[in-house]
């Protein structure tokens, strides 16, 4: 009897969860088109047509017309002293305040390169190449094999 009751409760819980999922899916907000507002309509303006938010800024005053009459003094040419036209900044001091340490001036140590490993075949090849110079050059070398064996071992 308890097995039937457990099945019934499981089916009921599944139905409640399914209805909740359907209800959540149908309750989504639908996107509304954005309302276009003119920003110029929202501001109160003063007598010049400037928004109130910009109050406190001074308006440029009208310039008085410049006098065209001669002032009586002739304008003299200005003298510019000679010299370098570029500014050369002083050298940047080191953070420690002193000269750089000798450890910084030395090159870093090189990586260890192990000596090449020489196999028996490498020794035989060297002996073959050294035969004409060590044993003499000939068209019919009779003792070449013996030389290579002795040299390689």
Domain ranges across the chain = 118-153
Q: Give ∠ CA 8-11-15 in degrees, rounded to 5.
A: 135
**DSSP code of residue 40:** G
Position 120 pLDDT exceeds 60 = yes
The pTM is what?
A: 0.27
Position 60 pLDDT exceeds 80 = no
The 3-state DSSP class for residue 138 equals coil
Query: Which residues, at least 6 apart from 33, have a Cβ–Cβ distance to it below 8 Å?
Result: none
Length of the chain, in residues: 153
124 — pLDDT class (breaks 50, 70, 90): very high
Per-residue model confidence (pLDDT) at position 122: 93
Per-residue model confidence (pLDDT) at position 85: 67
Measured CA to CA, the distance from residue 153 to residue 150 in angstroms comes to: 6
Average pLDDT over residues 98-106: 67
Position 92 pLDDT exceeds 90 = no
| Residue 130 parent element (H or E) | helix 120-135
Q: Classify the C-alpha dihedral 92-96-99-104 as positive or negative.
A: negative
Measured CA to CA, the distance from residue 75 to residue 89 in angstroms comes to: 36
Position 142 pLDDT exceeds 70 = yes
């Amino acid at each position: 009897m308890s097995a039937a009751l457990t099945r019934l409760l499981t089916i009921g819980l599944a139905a409640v969860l399914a209805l909740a999922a359907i209800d959540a899916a149908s309750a989504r907000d639908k996107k509304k088109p954005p309302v276009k507002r003119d920003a110029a309509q929202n501001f109160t303006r003063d007598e010049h047509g400037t928004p109130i938010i910009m109050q406190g800024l001074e308006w440029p005053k009208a310039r008085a017309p410049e006098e065209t009459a001669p002032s009586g003094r002739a304008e003299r040419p200005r003298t510019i002293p000679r010299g370098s036209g570029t500014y050369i900044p002083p050298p940047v001091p080191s953070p420690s305040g002193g000269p750089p340490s000798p450890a910084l001036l030395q090159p870093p140590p090189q990586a260890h390169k192990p000596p090449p490993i020489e196999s028996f075949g490498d020794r035989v090849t060297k002996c073959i190449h050294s035969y004409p110079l060590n044993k003499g050059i000939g068209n019919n070398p009779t003792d070449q094999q013996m030389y290579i064996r002795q040299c390689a071992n």
